[in-house]
Structure 1
C-alpha cells in the first residue's frame, strides 16, 4: 500500500467542489464534536442541525446528508463549501484516504480532482481514514 519512505504526492485544493458532488453511494462521517462546530458556525440550533443536515448511517456512524443527486448539502449555488473552515475530518483529509493510497487509485482520482498533481509535494507516512 505504501512506497518505501512513505508516499509523496502533490496536492493543492482549488475549492472546485468536485469531491463534494454526485459521487454515488458514500457517506461523509461527522462526529458529535464536528456537528457542534458546524452548529455554532451556522448559528443554528442543535435540533435544526440534526434534522436538516445529519442522518444516522448505521449504529455507530452519523453522516452529513446528501441531496438526491449525491451532492453535499453544504455546497452553495457556486459549488463552494458553506462550512469549509469547520468541515468534517473526512473532508479535511481528502484526498489522503486509504482508498486512494495506491498509485493507481491516486492516478484515477486525478480525473475527478484538479488539485491532485499540483501544489507542494506532500510526504505521507500513511493515508487518513475516510469513507467514500
Structure 2
C-alpha cells in the first residue's frame, strides 16, 4: 500500500490525542516532562500518572480518554517534552487506517463546508 497523503496536525480534530488508546511513559519521559512542567519526578507521578498496569507500565493516557495534556486549541501543551509514544505515533498504520481515515474525512468535510460558505 502506498503511503497516504500527509495530514496537517493543525487541521486535525486531535483523534490521536482523543481516541488512540494508551500513552505509556518511560522513566526518561517522566524526568523530561517533570522538568518541562517545573515539577519533581514524584510530583509529576502523583499528579499525572493515571494508571499503572500489572506489568508496572505507567500511563498518562489510559484507554480512549482525551489526553490530559491536550489544550483547548487542540495543541499539545507539553509538545517539546512529549513522551516517546507520542513522538513516534503515526496517524495511520498499514493494517488499521481508522484514525487516518477519520482525520482525512473530517478535513475534507471541513474544507468542503468552508468552500460552500465562501460561495454563498
Normalization by structure 1: what TM-score?
A: 0.62
2:17 to 13, 17, 20: 20
**Aligned Cα RMSD in Å?**
2.9
Are residues 65 and 110 of structure 1, via their aligned partners in 2, closer, same or farther at CA, if it must alter by over 3 Å? closer
| 1:59 paired residue among 42, 55, 60 | 55
Relative contact order, CA 8 A, sep 6+: which one is greater? 1
Which is higher, the Rg of structure 1 or of structure 2? 2
- Residue pair 1:29, 1:63 contacting (<8 A) in 2 also: yes
The 1:69/1:29 distance shift into structure 2, 3 A limit, reads: closer
CA deviation after TM superposition for structure 1 residue 44, in Å: 1.2
How far does residue 8 in structure 1 lie from its aligned partner after superposition?
Answer: 3.5
Distance 1:59-1:11 versus aligned 2 partners, 3 A rule: same
SS at 2:31 equivalent: helix
**Pairing partner for 2:94 from 93, 98, 101:** 101
Correspondence 1:38 to 2:41: no
SS of structure 2 residue aligned to 1:11:
coil
Distance in 1 of aligned mates of 2:25 and 2:67 = 13
- The structure whose residues are more often helix, as a share, is 2
TM-score norm. by structure 2 comes to: 0.68
Change (3 A) 1:95 1:65: closer
TM-superposed CA distance for 1:36, in Å, is 0.4
Count of residues in correspondence between the two structures:
103
State the 4+ residue runs in structure 1 displaced beyond 3 angstroms: 7-10
CA–CA distance in structure 2, aligned partners of residues 111 and 37 of structure 1: 32
SS state at 1:29 partner: strand
**Contact 1:19/1:112, CA 8 A, preserved across alignment:** no
